[in-house]
Protein backbone atom coordinates (compact mmCIF):
# COMPACT_ATOMS: atom_id res chain seq x y z
CA UNK A 1 0.00 0.00 0.00
CA UNK A 2 1.40 3.39 -0.97
CA UNK A 3 1.29 6.70 0.93
CA UNK A 4 -1.27 7.98 -1.59
CA UNK A 5 -3.90 6.02 0.31
CA UNK A 6 -3.68 8.66 3.02
CA UNK A 7 -2.84 8.83 6.70
CA UNK A 8 -3.76 6.12 9.21
CA UNK A 9 -4.45 5.93 12.93
CA UNK A 10 -4.08 2.71 14.89
CA UNK A 11 -6.24 1.56 17.78
CA UNK A 12 -5.13 -1.29 20.04
CA UNK A 13 -7.46 -3.23 22.35
CA UNK A 14 -5.99 -5.46 25.04
CA UNK A 15 -8.67 -7.67 26.55
CA UNK A 16 -8.99 -10.73 28.73
CA UNK A 17 -8.42 -13.20 25.90
CA UNK A 18 -6.25 -11.38 23.40
CA UNK A 19 -5.07 -8.24 21.67
CA UNK A 20 -6.67 -6.66 18.63
CA UNK A 21 -5.58 -3.81 16.40
CA UNK A 22 -7.30 -1.68 13.77
CA UNK A 23 -5.82 0.75 11.25
CA UNK A 24 -8.35 3.47 10.41
CA UNK A 25 -8.54 6.12 7.73
CA UNK A 26 -9.73 9.70 8.43
CA UNK A 27 -13.19 8.81 7.04
CA UNK A 28 -13.44 6.10 9.76
CA UNK A 29 -13.17 3.26 7.26
CA UNK A 30 -10.98 0.37 8.37
CA UNK A 31 -7.85 -0.24 6.33
CA UNK A 32 -6.72 -3.36 8.20
CA UNK A 33 -7.26 -5.31 11.39
CA UNK A 34 -5.52 -8.11 13.28
CA UNK A 35 -5.94 -10.20 16.41
CA UNK A 36 -3.72 -12.43 18.53
CA UNK A 37 -4.70 -14.65 21.47
CA UNK A 38 -2.94 -14.15 24.81
CA UNK A 39 -2.56 -17.91 25.30
CA UNK A 40 -0.15 -17.97 22.38
CA UNK A 41 2.42 -16.36 24.68
CA UNK A 42 1.79 -18.25 27.88
CA UNK A 43 -0.94 -19.56 30.17
CA UNK A 44 -0.98 -16.55 32.49
CA UNK A 45 -3.27 -13.93 30.95
CA UNK A 46 -2.52 -11.50 33.78
CA UNK A 47 1.22 -11.39 33.10
CA UNK A 48 2.14 -7.93 31.68
CA UNK A 49 4.89 -9.57 29.61
CA UNK A 50 2.20 -11.68 27.93
CA UNK A 51 0.10 -8.56 27.31
CA UNK A 52 2.98 -6.79 25.64
CA UNK A 53 3.99 -9.80 23.53
CA UNK A 54 0.41 -10.13 22.31
CA UNK A 55 0.16 -6.40 21.54
CA UNK A 56 3.50 -6.47 19.74
CA UNK A 57 2.47 -9.48 17.67
CA UNK A 58 -0.90 -8.07 16.65
CA UNK A 59 0.65 -4.68 15.82
CA UNK A 60 3.35 -6.35 13.72
CA UNK A 61 0.67 -8.39 11.93
CA UNK A 62 -1.41 -5.27 11.26
CA UNK A 63 1.56 -3.39 9.85
CA UNK A 64 2.10 -6.09 7.21
CA UNK A 65 -1.08 -4.82 5.51
CA UNK A 66 -0.47 -1.06 5.57
CA UNK A 67 2.17 1.47 4.63
CA UNK A 68 4.21 2.14 7.79
CA UNK A 69 4.93 5.69 6.64
CA UNK A 70 1.19 6.44 6.61
CA UNK A 71 0.77 5.83 10.35
CA UNK A 72 0.26 9.07 12.28
CA UNK A 73 -0.97 8.01 15.71
CA UNK A 74 -1.63 5.11 18.08
CA UNK A 75 -4.00 4.77 21.05
CA UNK A 76 -4.66 1.89 23.47
CA UNK A 77 -7.65 0.70 25.44
CA UNK A 78 -7.58 -1.82 28.29
CA UNK A 79 -9.87 -3.54 30.76
CA UNK A 80 -11.38 -1.06 33.21
CA UNK A 81 -10.08 -1.35 36.75
CA UNK A 82 -7.01 -3.46 35.95
CA UNK A 83 -3.96 -2.04 37.78
CA UNK A 84 -0.30 -2.83 38.37
CA UNK A 85 2.54 -1.25 40.38
CA UNK A 86 5.75 -0.27 38.55
CA UNK A 87 9.18 1.10 39.36
CA UNK A 88 10.60 4.33 37.94
CA UNK A 89 11.48 2.57 34.67
CA UNK A 90 7.97 1.16 34.24
CA UNK A 91 8.93 -2.38 35.26
CA UNK A 92 6.07 -4.30 36.94
CA UNK A 93 6.71 -5.04 40.60
CA UNK A 94 3.82 -7.42 41.27
CA UNK A 95 1.19 -9.39 39.42
CA UNK A 96 -1.60 -7.03 38.30
CA UNK A 97 -5.01 -7.05 39.90
CA UNK A 98 -7.52 -7.54 37.09
CA UNK A 99 -10.79 -5.72 36.55
CA UNK A 100 -12.83 -8.27 38.53
CA UNK A 101 -10.28 -9.06 41.26
CA UNK A 102 -11.37 -8.05 44.74
CA UNK A 103 -9.23 -6.46 47.43
CA UNK A 104 -9.74 -8.50 50.59
CA UNK A 105 -8.10 -6.08 53.04
CA UNK A 106 -10.94 -4.70 55.19
CA UNK A 107 -8.80 -1.81 56.42
CA UNK A 108 -8.25 -0.60 52.84
CA UNK A 109 -11.93 -0.88 51.99
CA UNK A 110 -12.88 0.97 55.17
CA UNK A 111 -10.40 3.76 54.43
CA UNK A 112 -11.90 4.27 50.97
CA UNK A 113 -15.45 4.11 52.32
CA UNK A 114 -14.67 6.80 54.91
CA UNK A 115 -13.05 9.20 52.44
CA UNK A 116 -14.87 8.72 49.14
CA UNK A 117 -18.11 10.53 48.25
CA UNK A 118 -21.13 8.24 48.05
CA UNK A 119 -21.30 8.77 44.29
CA UNK A 120 -17.66 7.84 43.60
CA UNK A 121 -16.82 4.95 41.27
CA UNK A 122 -13.83 4.26 43.54
CA UNK A 123 -15.99 2.56 46.16
CA UNK A 124 -16.04 -1.22 46.43
CA UNK A 125 -13.65 -4.15 46.59
CA UNK A 126 -12.91 -4.14 42.83
CA UNK A 127 -12.19 -0.42 42.60
CA UNK A 128 -8.95 0.88 41.17
CA UNK A 129 -8.32 2.94 44.29
CA UNK A 130 -8.52 -0.10 46.59
CA UNK A 131 -6.07 -1.89 44.31
CA UNK A 132 -3.72 1.10 44.27
CA UNK A 133 -3.68 1.13 48.07
CA UNK A 134 -2.92 -2.59 48.16
CA UNK A 135 0.12 -1.98 45.91
CA UNK A 136 1.54 0.87 47.99
CA UNK A 137 4.91 -0.34 49.25
CA UNK A 138 8.60 0.67 49.15
CA UNK A 139 10.06 0.73 45.64
CA UNK A 140 6.76 1.43 43.88
CA UNK A 141 7.09 4.60 41.77
CA UNK A 142 3.64 4.57 40.16
CA UNK A 143 0.40 2.64 39.97
CA UNK A 144 -0.84 2.32 36.40
CA UNK A 145 -3.89 1.06 34.60
CA UNK A 146 -3.46 -1.65 32.00
CA UNK A 147 -3.85 0.75 29.06
CA UNK A 148 -1.41 3.21 30.65
CA UNK A 149 1.28 0.54 30.89
CA UNK A 150 0.84 -0.69 27.30
CA UNK A 151 0.89 2.89 26.01
CA UNK A 152 4.03 3.41 28.08
CA UNK A 153 5.73 0.59 26.20
CA UNK A 154 5.10 2.61 23.04
CA UNK A 155 5.94 6.08 24.39
CA UNK A 156 8.52 5.31 27.06
CA UNK A 157 6.41 7.34 29.53
CA UNK A 158 4.84 5.69 32.57
CA UNK A 159 3.26 8.77 34.12
CA UNK A 160 0.13 9.35 32.02
CA UNK A 161 -3.41 7.99 32.18
CA UNK A 162 -6.75 8.97 30.65
CA UNK A 163 -9.95 10.17 32.28
CA UNK A 164 -11.84 6.95 31.58
CA UNK A 165 -9.35 4.50 33.09
CA UNK A 166 -8.76 6.85 36.03
CA UNK A 167 -12.45 7.01 37.00
CA UNK A 168 -12.53 3.88 39.20
CA UNK A 169 -9.31 5.00 40.86
CA UNK A 170 -11.10 8.09 42.18
CA UNK A 171 -10.57 10.67 39.44
CA UNK A 172 -13.14 13.50 39.46
CA UNK A 173 -14.45 13.77 35.88
CA UNK A 174 -16.29 17.02 36.55
CA UNK A 175 -13.44 18.90 38.26
CA UNK A 176 -10.99 17.04 35.95
CA UNK A 177 -8.46 16.29 38.68
CA UNK A 178 -7.45 13.80 41.34
CA UNK A 179 -9.53 15.00 44.31
CA UNK A 180 -7.93 15.85 47.65
CA UNK A 181 -9.97 13.24 49.52
CA UNK A 182 -7.85 10.46 47.96
CA UNK A 183 -4.97 11.45 50.25
CA UNK A 184 -7.23 10.82 53.25
CA UNK A 185 -7.31 7.12 52.31
CA UNK A 186 -3.58 6.94 52.96
CA UNK A 187 -2.51 6.71 49.33
CA UNK A 188 0.60 8.67 48.37
CA UNK A 189 -0.70 11.00 45.67
CA UNK A 190 2.61 10.93 43.79
CA UNK A 191 1.86 7.31 42.83
CA UNK A 192 -1.01 8.44 40.63
CA UNK A 193 -0.31 9.27 36.98
CA UNK A 194 -1.12 12.57 35.36
CA UNK A 195 -4.47 12.46 33.57
CA UNK A 196 -5.48 13.78 30.14
CA UNK A 197 -8.66 13.40 28.11
CA UNK A 198 -9.24 10.41 25.80
CA UNK A 199 -7.99 11.47 22.37
CA UNK A 200 -5.50 14.00 23.76
CA UNK A 201 -1.90 13.77 22.57
CA UNK A 202 0.13 12.12 25.34
CA UNK A 203 3.58 11.77 23.77
CA UNK A 204 5.52 10.85 20.67
CA UNK A 205 6.56 7.27 20.07
CA UNK A 206 9.77 6.19 21.76
CA UNK A 207 12.76 5.58 19.52
CA UNK A 208 12.92 1.95 20.65
CA UNK A 209 9.27 1.30 19.74
CA UNK A 210 9.60 3.12 16.42
CA UNK A 211 12.58 0.94 15.54
CA UNK A 212 10.89 -2.25 16.74
CA UNK A 213 7.84 -1.76 14.53
CA UNK A 214 9.41 0.20 11.69
CA UNK A 215 7.32 3.31 12.34
CA UNK A 216 8.19 6.97 11.74
CA UNK A 217 9.64 8.82 14.73
CA UNK A 218 6.92 11.46 14.58
CA UNK A 219 4.07 9.02 15.29
CA UNK A 220 2.16 10.27 18.33
CA UNK A 221 0.80 8.19 21.19
CA UNK A 222 -2.72 9.37 22.02
CA UNK A 223 -4.53 8.87 25.33
CA UNK A 224 -6.88 5.92 25.10
CA UNK A 225 -9.80 4.66 27.14
CA UNK A 226 -11.41 1.61 28.72
CA UNK A 227 -12.63 -1.34 26.68
CA UNK A 228 -16.26 -0.49 27.43
CA UNK A 229 -15.97 3.12 26.27
CA UNK A 230 -14.03 2.01 23.20
CA UNK A 231 -16.81 -0.41 22.26
CA UNK A 232 -19.33 2.43 22.45
CA UNK A 233 -17.20 4.71 20.27
CA UNK A 234 -16.66 1.93 17.73
CA UNK A 235 -20.34 1.89 16.83
CA UNK A 236 -20.23 5.46 15.54
CA UNK A 237 -22.45 6.81 18.33
CA UNK A 238 -21.32 10.40 18.89
CA UNK A 239 -24.34 12.64 19.57
CA UNK A 240 -26.06 13.33 22.89
CA UNK A 241 -29.05 10.97 23.05
CA UNK A 242 -27.34 8.20 21.08
CA UNK A 243 -27.68 4.85 22.83
CA UNK A 244 -25.85 1.56 22.40
CA UNK A 245 -27.33 -1.73 23.57
CA UNK A 246 -25.09 -4.76 23.97
CA UNK A 247 -27.07 -8.00 23.67
CA UNK A 248 -24.61 -10.55 24.99
CA UNK A 249 -24.87 -12.91 27.93
CA UNK A 250 -26.14 -9.89 29.84
CA UNK A 251 -28.01 -6.79 28.67
CA UNK A 252 -25.97 -3.59 28.84
CA UNK A 253 -27.14 -0.15 27.77
CA UNK A 254 -25.21 3.11 27.43
CA UNK A 255 -26.23 6.59 26.39
CA UNK A 256 -24.24 9.70 25.55
CA UNK A 257 -25.33 12.42 27.97
CA UNK A 258 -24.73 16.15 28.27
CA UNK A 259 -24.35 15.76 32.06
CA UNK A 260 -22.87 13.15 34.37
CA UNK A 261 -25.23 10.56 35.86
CA UNK A 262 -24.41 8.87 39.15
CA UNK A 263 -26.58 6.27 40.87
CA UNK A 264 -24.42 3.85 42.87
CA UNK A 265 -27.38 1.68 43.90
CA UNK A 266 -27.88 0.91 40.20
CA UNK A 267 -24.15 0.56 39.54
CA UNK A 268 -24.25 3.70 37.37
CA UNK A 269 -21.44 6.22 37.02
CA UNK A 270 -20.33 8.37 34.09
CA UNK A 271 -17.22 8.38 31.96
CA UNK A 272 -16.20 11.69 30.45
CA UNK A 273 -15.83 11.90 26.66
CA UNK A 274 -14.79 15.45 25.82
CA UNK A 275 -17.67 17.71 26.89
CA UNK A 276 -20.14 14.82 27.12
CA UNK A 277 -20.56 11.85 29.42
CA UNK A 278 -21.19 8.17 28.85
CA UNK A 279 -23.66 6.70 31.31
CA UNK A 280 -25.18 3.26 31.43
CA UNK A 281 -26.21 0.22 33.35
CA UNK A 282 -26.13 -3.56 33.11
CA UNK A 283 -29.06 -5.90 33.73
CA UNK A 284 -28.71 -9.52 34.79
CA UNK A 285 -31.13 -10.37 32.00
CA UNK A 286 -29.89 -11.17 28.50
CA UNK A 287 -28.61 -14.05 26.44
CA UNK A 288 -27.67 -16.12 29.47
CA UNK A 289 -31.30 -16.69 30.42
CA UNK A 290 -32.20 -17.62 26.84
CA UNK A 291 -29.40 -20.18 26.81
CA UNK A 292 -30.88 -21.82 29.91
CA UNK A 293 -33.93 -22.78 27.88
CA UNK A 294 -32.83 -23.11 24.24
CA UNK A 295 -29.72 -23.89 22.25
CA UNK A 296 -28.49 -21.26 19.80
CA UNK A 297 -29.65 -23.42 16.87
CA UNK A 298 -33.12 -23.71 18.42
CA UNK A 299 -33.30 -19.95 19.04
CA UNK A 300 -32.50 -19.31 15.38
CA UNK A 301 -35.10 -21.90 14.28
CA UNK A 302 -37.85 -20.54 16.52
CA UNK A 303 -37.07 -16.88 15.76
CA UNK A 304 -37.77 -17.53 12.08
CA UNK A 305 -41.45 -18.27 12.81
CA UNK A 306 -42.04 -15.47 15.35
CA UNK A 307 -44.33 -12.60 14.34
CA UNK A 308 -42.62 -9.64 16.04
CA UNK A 309 -45.49 -7.23 15.32
CA UNK A 310 -47.92 -8.91 17.73
CA UNK A 311 -47.77 -9.28 21.53
CA UNK A 312 -48.00 -12.50 23.49
CA UNK A 313 -49.61 -10.61 26.36
CA UNK A 314 -47.21 -12.26 28.82
CA UNK A 315 -45.40 -10.00 31.23
CA UNK A 316 -42.06 -11.75 31.68
CA UNK A 317 -39.00 -10.47 33.53
CA UNK A 318 -36.39 -12.99 32.31
CA UNK A 319 -33.53 -13.52 34.78
CA UNK A 320 -31.11 -16.44 35.00
CA UNK A 321 -31.42 -16.46 38.80
CA UNK A 322 -32.85 -14.39 41.65
CA UNK A 323 -31.53 -10.83 41.78
CA UNK A 324 -31.38 -7.76 39.55
CA UNK A 325 -29.10 -4.71 39.53
CA UNK A 326 -30.50 -2.46 36.78
CA UNK A 327 -33.01 -1.03 35.85
CA UNK A 328 -34.44 -2.46 39.09
CA UNK A 329 -32.00 -2.65 42.00
CA UNK A 330 -33.31 -5.63 43.95
CA UNK A 331 -31.09 -8.58 44.94
CA UNK A 332 -34.24 -10.53 45.83
CA UNK A 333 -36.12 -9.96 42.55
CA UNK A 334 -37.21 -13.40 41.25
CA UNK A 335 -37.31 -14.38 37.57
CA UNK A 336 -40.79 -14.10 36.04
CA UNK A 337 -41.21 -16.71 33.30
CA UNK A 338 -44.72 -18.06 33.84
CA UNK A 339 -47.20 -19.02 32.58
CA UNK A 340 -45.31 -21.02 29.98
CA UNK A 341 -47.02 -21.32 26.58
CA UNK A 342 -47.22 -24.78 25.05
CA UNK A 343 -45.59 -23.51 21.85
CA UNK A 344 -41.80 -23.07 22.17
CA UNK A 345 -41.88 -20.18 19.68
CA UNK A 346 -44.37 -18.30 21.86
CA UNK A 347 -42.23 -18.99 24.93
CA UNK A 348 -39.11 -17.61 23.26
CA UNK A 349 -41.09 -14.64 21.92
CA UNK A 350 -42.34 -13.81 25.41
CA UNK A 351 -38.76 -13.88 26.73
CA UNK A 352 -37.56 -11.64 23.90
CA UNK A 353 -40.43 -9.24 24.67
CA UNK A 354 -39.47 -9.29 28.34
CA UNK A 355 -35.82 -8.46 27.69
CA UNK A 356 -36.86 -5.71 25.27
CA UNK A 357 -39.13 -4.27 27.97
CA UNK A 358 -36.19 -4.29 30.42
CA UNK A 359 -34.10 -2.45 27.81
CA UNK A 360 -36.83 0.18 27.38
CA UNK A 361 -37.18 0.54 31.16
CA UNK A 362 -33.39 0.92 31.41
CA UNK A 363 -33.29 3.88 29.04
CA UNK A 364 -36.31 5.38 30.85
CA UNK A 365 -34.55 4.92 34.18
CA UNK A 366 -31.48 6.75 32.88
CA UNK A 367 -33.75 9.60 31.74
CA UNK A 368 -35.33 9.73 35.22
CA UNK A 369 -31.84 10.08 36.67
CA UNK A 370 -31.04 13.04 34.41
CA UNK A 371 -29.84 11.52 31.13
CA UNK A 372 -31.22 12.88 27.85
CA UNK A 373 -34.14 11.34 26.02
CA UNK A 374 -33.06 8.41 23.86
CA UNK A 375 -32.99 9.41 20.18
CA UNK A 376 -31.34 6.41 18.50
CA UNK A 377 -29.99 2.96 19.25
CA UNK A 378 -27.11 0.99 17.82
CA UNK A 379 -26.91 -2.69 18.74
CA UNK A 380 -23.95 -4.99 19.28
CA UNK A 381 -23.49 -8.51 20.59
CA UNK A 382 -24.89 -11.82 19.38
CA UNK A 383 -28.53 -10.84 19.90
CA UNK A 384 -28.17 -7.92 17.49
CA UNK A 385 -28.21 -10.42 14.59
CA UNK A 386 -31.71 -11.70 15.46
CA UNK A 387 -34.22 -9.93 13.13
CA UNK A 388 -37.29 -10.88 15.16
CA UNK A 389 -35.78 -9.60 18.39
CA UNK A 390 -34.69 -6.40 16.63
CA UNK A 391 -38.25 -5.77 15.41
CA UNK A 392 -39.66 -6.38 18.90
CA UNK A 393 -37.11 -3.97 20.39
CA UNK A 394 -37.91 -1.33 17.78
CA UNK A 395 -41.57 -1.51 18.77
CA UNK A 396 -40.76 -1.18 22.47
CA UNK A 397 -38.24 1.64 22.14
CA UNK A 398 -39.83 3.71 19.37
CA UNK A 399 -36.61 5.31 18.15
CA UNK A 400 -34.40 4.98 15.09
CA UNK A 401 -32.22 1.87 14.99
CA UNK A 402 -28.94 2.74 13.32
CA UNK A 403 -26.25 0.32 12.11
CA UNK A 404 -23.18 -0.11 14.32
CA UNK A 405 -20.16 0.80 12.22
CA UNK A 406 -18.05 -1.72 14.14
CA UNK A 407 -18.30 -3.96 17.19
CA UNK A 408 -14.51 -4.03 17.71
CA UNK A 409 -13.25 -2.01 20.67
CA UNK A 410 -10.01 -1.38 18.76
CA UNK A 411 -12.02 0.57 16.17
CA UNK A 412 -13.29 2.90 18.90
CA UNK A 413 -9.76 3.43 20.14
CA UNK A 414 -8.62 4.11 16.57
CA UNK A 415 -11.19 6.92 16.49
CA UNK A 416 -9.44 8.47 19.49
CA UNK A 417 -6.10 8.06 17.72
CA UNK A 418 -7.59 9.91 14.73
CA UNK A 419 -8.82 12.66 17.04
CA UNK A 420 -5.35 13.14 18.46
CA UNK A 421 -3.76 13.15 15.02
CA UNK A 422 -6.26 15.78 13.87
CA UNK A 423 -5.56 17.98 16.88
CA UNK A 424 -1.82 17.67 16.19
CA UNK A 425 -2.32 18.66 12.55
CA UNK A 426 -1.10 15.33 11.22
CA UNK A 427 -4.09 14.49 9.01
CATH code at 136?
3.30.420.40
In this structure, the dihedral spanned by the alpha carbons of residues 255, 256, 261 and 267, taken in order and rounded to 10 degrees, is: 40
Tell whether the model's pLDDT for residue 5 goes beyond 90: no
Question: Quick one: which H or E segment has residue 224?
Answer: strand 220-226
**Domain co-membership, 245 together with 302:** yes
By the 8 A CB rule, do 162 and 225 touch?
A: yes
122 and 206: one domain?
A: yes
- Please state the φ and ψ torsions of residue 123, each to the nearest 5 degrees: -80, 150
At 331 the pLDDT is: 95
Do 31 and 156 sit in the same domain of this protein? Answer: yes
- What mean pLDDT comes out for the span 74-96? 96
Of 248, 269, 231, the C-alpha closest to 410 is: 231
Same domain, yes or no: 221 and 269? no
User: Given this model, what pLDDT does residue 3 score?
Assistant: 40
pLDDT at residue 334 in the model: 98
The yes-or-no verdict on residue 4 having pLDDT over 70 is no
List, for residues 237-267, the tens digit of each pLDDT value.
999 999 999 999 999 999 999 999 999 889 8
Predicted confidence at residue 24, as pLDDT, reads 98
Domain shared by 172 and 306, yes or no? no
Average pLDDT for residues 56-79, to the nearest whole number?
A: 97
- Say whether both 181 and 252 belong to one domain: no
Question: What confidence tens digit (pLDDT) does each residue in 200-231 have?
Answer: 999 999 999 999 999 999 999 999 999 999 99
Domain of residue 309: give its range. 238-402
- Are 159 and 259 found together in one domain? no
Cβ atoms of residues 178 and 171 within 8 Å? yes
Residues 413 and 398 in one domain: no
Q: What percent of the chain has pLDDT over 90?
A: 96
Q: Are 184 and 114 in contact (CB under 8 A)?
A: yes
Given a cut of 60, whether residue 21 has pLDDT beyond it is yes
pLDDT grade, residue 2 (50/70/90)?
very low
Provide the phi-psi class of 310: left if phi over 0, else alpha when psi is between -120 and 50, else beta: beta
Q: How many residues does the chain have?
A: 427
Q: What is the mean pLDDT of residues 147-156?
A: 98
Same domain (yes/no): 415, 299: no
For residues 75 and 151, state if they share a domain: yes
Same domain, 178 and 313: no
Nearest one of 126, 209, 122, 198 to 160, comparing CA atoms: 198
Clarify whether residues 386 and 414 are in a common domain.
no
**pLDDT score, position 1:** 37
Give 12's strand partners: 21, 76
Query: What is the average per-residue pLDDT within 44-72?
Result: 97
Domain count, the chain: 2
Amino acid sequence: MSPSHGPLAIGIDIGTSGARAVAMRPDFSIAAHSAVALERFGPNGRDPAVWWEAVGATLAELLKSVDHAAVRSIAVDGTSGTLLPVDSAGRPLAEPLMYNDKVADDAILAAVARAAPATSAALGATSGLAKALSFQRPGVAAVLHQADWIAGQLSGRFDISDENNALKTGYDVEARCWPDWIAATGLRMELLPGVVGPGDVASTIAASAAELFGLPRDVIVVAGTTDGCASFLATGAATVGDGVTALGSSLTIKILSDRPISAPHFGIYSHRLGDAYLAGGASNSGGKVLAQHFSLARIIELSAVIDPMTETGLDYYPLPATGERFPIADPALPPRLVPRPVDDADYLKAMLEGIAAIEALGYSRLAELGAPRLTSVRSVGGGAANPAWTAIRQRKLGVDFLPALSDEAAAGTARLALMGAGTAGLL
